[in-house]
Structure formats: structure tokens, C-alpha cells
Amino acid sequence: MTTVYVFVYGSLCSGQQNHSLMDKADLVSRQAFIKGALYAGSSYDPLLREDEHAWTYGELYSIDPEFLPVPGDFEDVLPDHGGGGFYRKEAEVFTDKGSVKAEACYWNGSETGKSIPHNDWKVHQYLQQDSYLYFAYGSCMDDARFISQQVHHLFEDVKGKGSLHGFRLAFSYHLEDGSRADIQESENDKVEGVLYNINKEALHYLFLREGVEAAAYRPAIVPVETDDGAVHQAVTFTVLSKKEDAPPPFHYAEELYRGGERYLSPEYIDALKQRFLHDLKVQHFQEFIEKRSRPYD
């Protein structure tokens, strides 16, 4: 069967109102991105304009052309620039696994509307709420900095452990003292983390802490499974410019391990310990583990 790739960024995305039209498509990437800038038009769907200086985030699917829905207004979409409005174009779409050529639907009409922050429609829609679920998989699993920065009260509503399937824990954000955690798509892997109920004040704190304005991390919406089998849409943060895994500094590894021990599965924590000890070879982590095994020293 012949299939094509299609990049979607609006109501066809998972969790959005027209996602059922993608029932016959196979998901390739939840965190795909393409050159372009996203705007809020007068209709429900956003408008994607070609822009070499911006990235728009969405989802990548493979699908039989017979079942290919048309993003945008679902009508009058031309295979070229036409006379204005929506048009289809093959473009390079990037994922954590590489890039492919995919069909995308662009807009060149006169109307644009306001630009969408972060060029991510799912994030834009999710953040219209007054409260959110936040999936922490890195240092925010630990409350030491929450306490020292006097924001602990914003993170007291802990839902518990959450699992993000189809992703792996990476250490792809590099600073002078070492790396910081990230999530990257990986089909057979899973990232465990802590699911919090938070409000706008907590989200503002997280945007500052994660360096969103400094283009270190960006917000993303991911499906997180809780121990009761329910799947929840949650906001998290992922690195913009990903690099190869590198060792984190000890103080950061300590936060991950200490915070994770309270909520995550013993198997996941043991795998994290082995990774810090043997794969990433975090300095002083061996002494830390030995000391924790001798609580009365």
C-alpha cells in the first residue's frame, strides 16, 4: 500500500476536535516540527505561513492518500500557491529520529491574526485553562529548590507517578557544568515522572526556571499515563536544540534521584542509578549512593 507523510498542526492533532479524521493514519512523531510560523485566524484552525526563521510544532503521520484529510478549512485547498488561501506543499519535517518529506497545508491569504506563542497549537489551546497538569521528569521531581525559592506551596498538589510512553530520558541540554534532562521520542522506551496539579502562578515559575524565554526549553503537551491506566494530557518542557547525551553535574543528578525515589517505580530508579554510575559516569554519584546505604554514618 502506498503511503504519504502528512504534518498536522491544528485541529487534526491528537486531543483536538477533528482528530477523528486521522483514524486511518499511523502516528510517526508526536513532537515533529517544520519551518514556518503559526497564527490564530478567525476560524478554529490556526494558519501556517512559510517562514525560514521560525519553527512550528505539530505531529507527523503516515497515511494512504485516499484517506488524507485536508488541514485548514477542508475545502478549496490547492496543490500550489493558487490565488490565495490554503495550499498544499511538500516540506521537510523534522523529528527526534530524523527528517522526512511530508505534505503540509500553508496559508497565504490576507488574514493572519495574532501570532501563536511557541508556534504550538496544542500548547496554545491547553494554556487557555486556569489550571494544568504538569509532568516533571527532571529536577522538578524534587522539592528542595521549591522550598528554597519559596514556591513550595504551588507544587503541593501531587497526583503521583506518571509514565510517558514512546520517549526516553535524555541529557541533551549542555551547560558549562554539565547537561540537563530532556525527553526524546524513542518507540520502545518510557519516561517516568511526577504529575502535579498546578495553577498559572506555578506555570509562570516553571517558564522562568526552564528558560523558555531564553530558548533553552519549550513547552509541549504530552499524554501521561497514571497507575490507574488513565491517560492525561499534561504540559512538560523539552530541549529546543538537542545535543548528544552528556553527564549532568552531581547536584542535578542528586535532585533527579532524590525526587524520583519518592514517586517512581523501583525498576526505573535502579535503571537511573545504573545510568548515572556506569553510562554517564556522574562525578561523586558513587559516594552519594554509598552514603545513602549507610544512613547512620
Per-residue pLDDT reduced to its tens digit, 180-220:
999 999 999 999 999 999 999 999 999 999 999 999 999 99
Kindly report which listed range (10-19, 135-144, 188-197, 233-242) carries the lowest average pLDDT score. Answer: 10-19
pLDDT band at 75 (very low <50, low <70, confident <90, very high): very low
pLDDT per residue as tens digits for the range 80-108: 545 568 898 999 999 999 999 999 999 99
Give pLDDT, residue 71.
Answer: 46
39: number of Cβ within 10 Å: 16
The amino acid at residue 258 is: R
Spatial CA neighbour of 130 closest among 199, 222, 196, 232: 199
| Rounded average pLDDT over 117-129 | 96
Domain 4-124 has CATH 3.10.490.10: yes
Cα–Cα distance for residue pair 23/124, rounded to 1 Å: 23
The pLDDT assigned to 72 comes to: 42
Residue 73 has pLDDT above 50, yes or no: no
Residue spans of the domains in the chain: they are 4-124, 130-292
- Taking only the tens place, the pLDDT of each residue in 26-59 is 999 999 999 999 999 777 789 999 999 999 999 9
pLDDT tier at 297 (50, 70, 90 boundaries)? low
Query: How far apart are the C-alpha atoms of 9 and 124, rounded to whole Å?
Result: 11
Q: What pLDDT does residue 78 have?
A: 46
Please determine, for residue 79, whether its predicted confidence score (pLDDT) is greater than 70. no
What is 130-292's CATH superfamily? Gamma-glutamyl cyclotransferase-like (3.10.490.10)
CATH fold match for the domains 4-124 and 130-292: yes
pLDDT at 69: 67
pLDDT of residue 66: 80
* Neighbouring-strand partners of residue 32: 58
Which cell numbers hold the place of 2? Answer: 502506498
Percent of the chain with pLDDT over 70: 93
pLDDT score for 76: 43
112 compared with 34, residue with greater pLDDT = 34
Whole-number pLDDT of residue 1:
61
Helical pair 250-263 and 285-292, crossing angle rounded to 10 deg: 40
pLDDT (mean) for 119-141 = 97
Catalytic residue among 59, 103, 185, 210: 210
Mean pLDDT of 125-131: 95
185 as an active site residue: the answer is no
CB 35 within 8 A of CB 51: yes
pTM: 0.93
